[in-house]
Structure 1
C-alpha cells in the first residue's frame, strides 16, 4: 500500500516570481504547477536527454510545456481549444515586436469601436450608474446587472431599467445584423456578469481585429486576449465556474459590493492586453521543434512519435475543468454556443454561469469511467515506449474536501500491470489556496503533490 498524506484543491500562484526561470502564468488555473516546475524538470531530466521529445498530455494553461521547452522538444496537448491556443502561442508561434505594435495600433483605431458605441452604450451607461448608486448606498441595480445582465441569457424583470436597456441594445445589435452573428461574443454572453460591459466590448474589439489578420500567426494575439480575460474577470478565484453572488442568502446585497466589483471592472483592458502580448512575443523563442495539439489523450498518445517521456496531470475530482474555463473556450472558438439550462422548482432557466451546452466531460472526472481511462493511459504510454510521470494531488477521506475519483493505491495497482519499475516522489510541503472565503477553508495536508514515475 502506498501511504501518503493528502491535500485539497489548487496550488497557489500568489507570490510566484515570474521573472525567474522563464516562469510565466498565462491564466489563473486550477492545479497550476508553477510551484513545482523545477521538481518536474528534475524528474524528467533523469528520464530524457536534452532535445528529446516530451508530451505534456493534459497541458491546461501550458506552464509545464512552456518550462520544459527550454530543454526538450515538447508537444503540449489538451482537448480544449483555449489550451491549444495558449500552447501554440508559447511553443510554436513567432511574432516580432513591430508586428505586435502594428496590431495594437489597429485595435486602437478599429472601426469596431464606433459600432460598439452605437450598440452597447445604453448598457455601459446603466452599469456605471449602478456602480455609482451602489457607492451611494443603493445596491439594487448593481445586483440586477451582475445577476441578470447577460444579453443572451437575461431574466431581468420586465419594465425594470435593466430590462429596458437590454431591449434597446438587442434591437440595435439586430439592426446592425450582429445579434445572431459571431461578433460581440464577449459582450452578448458575459458582459455585466463576469466583466463590465466596457471591458467586454474591448475584448470584442481585439477579437475582431484578430479575425482580420492574414499571413501571420493568430494564436499569440488570441492567447494574449485569453490571458487578459483571465486577469480582469470579476469572479471568485479569477475562474469562470460561476459569477460572484452579489447578495447574501437572505437576499440582502453584500457589504462593499461596489468596491469589490470596481477593483476588477476598473482594470483597463487595452493596457493589460498590451502587457500580455509583449510577454508572449518575448517568450516565443525556442531551440527545439514544439507542437500544440487539441486531441483526446488517447489520440494524442497514438499519434505522437519518438516520445521519451509522457507527463500526465489529469483531473482527479468530480469537478469538470471545462466548467472553470468555459468563457475562455467560447472566446477562443469565437462561436455562438447554446447556453445550458437548469430546472429550478419546475422552472427552466439558463445556467447562472452561462455555461456552453455540451461542454467537455473528462472520463477522469467520472467515477465509473476513471479506471478504464487510467488503464488506457498506462497501456498506450507503455506501448509507445515512453516513461510516464503522473502528477497526483492526494486527498484525506477524513476531510470534507471533494474526494478524488481514484485513490493512490488503485492507480498504483493499475500501473503495475504495465510497468515494472514504479517510484513515488513527494513535491514537499506546498500550501494550497482555496476559491472560497477564508472562513470556509478546509484543512489541507502538507503533502500537497505526488509524482508517480512509471518506467
Structure 2
C-alpha cells in the first residue's frame, strides 16, 4: 500500500520508512518511546507510532498539525462537512464581489496565455497586493480596488499570495476555508481539517517542486518571456479549491489511526532535548542537510496553520517585498548555517549521550555539487561519524539503496546525487 503523503515535501522520507523503522527498533529500549526530533511532515512519526509511543517534535507549527492528523485522523459527518462548506461559500459570496476586477483580469490572462502569456506573467511577478507600483496599470488598478475589501476580511492568502502562488480565486477560497474552520472550531481548529487545508494548498501551488521557496519565473534574466511554465501554471490554477478540500477530508478519513499515542510538540530541538523524560528510549533525528532553510520552502503552510497576518520580509535596501513573500521572523536552523552546523550536531550528540539513549540520524552524502552550489551538504558523512564517535561507543553507518530526494529541477542549482542519497548514522553506548 502506498504511503500517505500529506504535503509535497523536500527530503520526504516516505520511501525510507521501513529502513528507518528497522534501525529504530534495533536499538530502542523495549516498550520505550521514540522521539522524532525534526518531524517535518510526521510520516516517520506515524510509522513509528504503529509499534511504540512517539513524541513528534518540530519548530514549525504545521508539523504538529500533521502529526495529530496522521496518527489520530478524524472522519467528519456529512453534516459537519456541509456546515464548513456553507460557511466558506458565504464568505466567498461576500468577498469576491469586491475583487471582480482582479478575477476577470486573471481569467482573461489565463484564457489568452498560449497566444499572449504576458498578462499572466505580470500577475505572477507583481500580483501580490503587498507589491505596489509594479505591473501594468490595469493590474495596479484592480489590486487597489481589491485592497479596500480584503484588508478588513483577514484575507491573508489572497492579499499576500494571490496571483503569485495561487490564482486569485484559489487564494480567496483558501481564505474562505480558513474563515470556515475558525468559525466552526474557534482558535483551536480541528487538526484533521487543518491538515486537509495544508494538503489542498500544497496541491494548488503553481511552482517548481510544489513548495513556496519562490514563485515561477516567467521571464529570462534579460526580460524575455519563457514558455515552458505556461502549461504547469494553467494546470495548477485549474484545480478548484473547495472540492479539493473535500477530497482531502476523505483521504484522511480513510487513514487507520496508529496503535500507540503520538504526542505532537512544537519546539526547537534544543528545548525538546532539554525536556525529554526517562520514557524516551531512542531519538530519531532528520535535521536539514543544506543551506536551504525549510521555513523558506513552507512559509505559506505555516501561515495557514498559525492563521495570522505574517507580514513579509523586504528586499534589502528596498520597500518592496521579497520575491518569495517570506514571513517576517521565520525560523533559521543552525543546521543550515555553515558556522553553526557543527556546534548544532555537537549539542545533539551530547544530549543523546546525557539521556543515555541511542540516536538514529538521517543524513545524505555530499555529491559533486554544481556551479552555483559547489558543495551541496554542509557536513560530510565522514565528518559526522568522526564527531559521533566522540559521544557514542558504537557508531554504524547504514546505507539506504537507490534513494533520491525531491529537488529543484534546474540542473545548475540542484546537483544530481550520485549513488546512494541517504544513510542512517546510528550511535549507541
* Shorter-chain TM-score tier: over 0.9
1:128 counterpart residue number: 107
Distance (Å, rounded) in 2 between the aligned partners of 1:153 and 1:218:
33
Distance (Å, rounded) in 1 between the aligned partners of 2:132 and 2:47:
42
Residue of 143, 147, 171 corresponding to 2:125: 147
How do 1:54-453 residues align onto structure 2 when only pairs under 5 Å count? Answer: 54-91=34-71, 93-98=72-77, 101-110=78-87, 111-135=90-114, 137-157=115-135, 160-174=137-151, 177-178=152-153, 183-214=154-185, 218-255=190-227, 257-283=229-255, 285-305=257-277, 306-343=279-316, 347-397=318-368, 400=371, 401=373, 402-437=375-410, 442-453=415-426
The two structures have a TM-score, normalised by structure 2, of: 0.93
Offset at 1:114? 1.5
| CA contact 1:50–1:72 (8 Å) conserved in 2 | no
Distance 1:155-1:32 versus aligned 2 partners, 3 A rule: farther
Offset at 1:82? 1.2
Offset at 1:115? 1.7
1:386 counterpart SS class: coil
| CA contact 1:148–1:155 (8 Å) conserved in 2 | no
| 5+ long unaligned stretches in structure 1 | 1-18
| 5+ long unaligned stretches in structure 2 | none
Which has the larger displacement, 390-399 or 74-83? 390-399
Distance 1:431-1:347 versus aligned 2 partners, 3 A rule: closer
Offset at 1:315? 0.7
Distance (Å, rounded) in 2 between the aligned partners of 1:95 and 1:211:
17
Task: Say which structure, 1 or 2, has more relative contact order (CA 8 Å, 6+ apart).
Answer: 1
Offset at 1:49? 6.2
| CA contact 1:307–1:385 (8 Å) conserved in 2 | no
Distance 1:424-1:351 versus aligned 2 partners, 3 A rule: same
Q: RMSD in angstroms over aligned alpha carbons?
A: 2.1
Distance (Å, rounded) in 2 between the aligned partners of 1:281 and 1:154:
43
Deviations 1:295-321 (A, max 9, x none): 111111222221111000101211111
Distance (Å, rounded) in 2 between the aligned partners of 1:416 and 1:439:
35
Offset at 1:281? 2.8
Deviations 1:148-189 (A, max 9, x none): 1011234434x7110010011112335xx33xxxx2111111
Offset at 1:241? 0.5
Q: How many residues align?
A: 422
Offset at 1:83? 1.1
Offset at 1:217? 5.9
Offset at 1:50? 6.7
Offset at 1:102? 2.9
Distance (Å, rounded) in 1 between the aligned partners of 2:311 and 2:76:
38
The two structures have a TM-score, normalised by structure 1, of: 0.87
Distance (Å, rounded) in 1 between the aligned partners of 2:252 and 2:68:
10
